[in-house]
Structure 1
Amino acid sequence: MTPANDARAAPPALAALLRAIDLACAAGAFLAALSAAALALILITEVVATSFFGWSQPWAVEYAIYLQCFVLFCGAGWTLRQGGHIRVAVVMQALPPAAARLLDMVGTVFALGVTGFASWALWQQLVRSVEFGSTSFYPMGTPLWIPQGLLTVGITLLALGFLARLVRLALRQQADLSAGLTGGGVE
């Protein structure tokens, strides 16, 4: 079953929601890729500046930390759909298909609960940072809502990815685009 056929098997509104989540997660992955490139550029610039000119950029450490978070979390929802998260496939392969699907659903519900709570808590923190005008303690004094906002979006995308996975599992659709491949699991 191809991903295109996948979405058509669901009711139209649900298929549109799944496509929207997939597109949002892909946008998050694009942001993660841009963040990785910016992080590499910052680190290379910092190494060259300190090694050859004895000058350290005061903003490099601060923004490198933010970019690491974006790289880690903004692409996580897309990675989930691609089947790139680590899971123990040997257990799933040993179970009958119905039991494996049920175990996958239980794990997905648990992960959705954890990421849903994390997303909710981060949205609360983001709102407080905006209300209080919080800034970082680094020399740049970055308004904290900016990096917190991107981190919050990344965790929210992962939670949405788990929601889409749960819906696909409930509809007996292909949850991972890598189904049948050995990547993403521990064999």
Structure 2
Amino acid sequence: MALSRPAHSGLALSRLLDRIYDAAGVLAGVAMIAIVLIILAQVGARLAAYPLRGGAQFAGYAMAAATFLALPHAFRRHAHIRITILLQALPDRARLVLDVMGLTVATVIGFWFAWWSYDLAYISWEIGEISQGDVAVAMWIPQIVMVVGGALFALSLLHTLIETLVTGRPFVPEGETGLDAAADR
């Protein structure tokens, strides 16, 4: 008896990837909360005349984490700024072609960035690079978040490019035309 593949395996994979992007978005939110808590701890420590060492350093690491981990979630939720005025003036076929071209270029750049982020973190680990802030931190630790966020963003770009090619529809929020999407930006 031959095993058959589920009819909607591509849809299931797409949903799984979207859940991963959403989880990265949640982690970005946690990083933002960490920034607030670090700042509050610094203020409290100053009021108590006991300066908190490394607060700004760790808030910076959390800001980088929040930024890079939010990229795939924001992209898939259409939260990135996108200029669609040119696309609105084009016929559907030309709009699709430009969308595919833009997603292709963005995907290449995304994977290029992810690769070089990985290379940076690997070299930092290999040479034992330590931060020069108040608290010594192995630099590959905060850099790995940039690698993960960058790789997930590149994956979300490829995911969207493949969806666009398979469906033959430009990457526009559901229920919105290009004009509506531009008005929301």
> Quick check: TM above 0.5?
yes
CA RMSD of aligned residues (A): 2.3
Structure with more relative contact order (C-alpha pairs < 8 Å, separation 6 or more) = 1
CA contact (8 A) 2:85 2:182 kept: no
Give the counterpart of 1:155 among 146, 150, 160.
Answer: 150
Give the counterpart of 2:127 among 132, 135, 149.
Answer: 132
In the TM superposition, what whole-angstrom CA distance separates every residue of 1:56-94 from its partner, at most 9, and x where no partner exists?
311101111111111111011011111111011222222
Mapping 1:11-30, distance limit 5 Å: 12-30=8-26
CA contact (8 A) 2:172 2:181 kept: no
Alignment CA distance shift 1:13-1:164 (3 Å): same
**SS at 1:171's partner residue?**
helix
**SS at 1:58's partner residue?**
coil
Give the counterpart of 1:40 among 28, 36, 48.
Answer: 36
Larger Rg belongs to = 2
CA shift, 1:131, in A, is 1.9
Q: Give identity over the alignment, percent.
A: 25
Structure 1: stretches of 5+ with no match in the other structure: 1-9
Q: Distance in 2 between matches of 1:108 and 1:160?
A: 11
**SS at 1:142's partner residue?**
coil
CA contact (8 A) 2:96 2:170 kept: no
Give the counterpart of 2:101 among 84, 99, 106.
Answer: 106
Give the counterpart of 2:117 among 115, 122, 125.
Answer: 122
Residue matched to 2:3: none
Q: Which runs of 4+ in 1 moved over 3 A?
A: 10-17, 173-179, 181-187
CA shift, 1:128, in A, is 1.7
CA shift, 1:186, in A, is 6.8
Q: Distance in 1 between matches of 2:101 and 2:51?
A: 49
Structure 2: stretches of 5+ with no match in the other structure: 1-5
Instruction: Give the structure-1-normalised TM-score.
Output: 0.84
CA shift, 1:49, in A, is 2.6
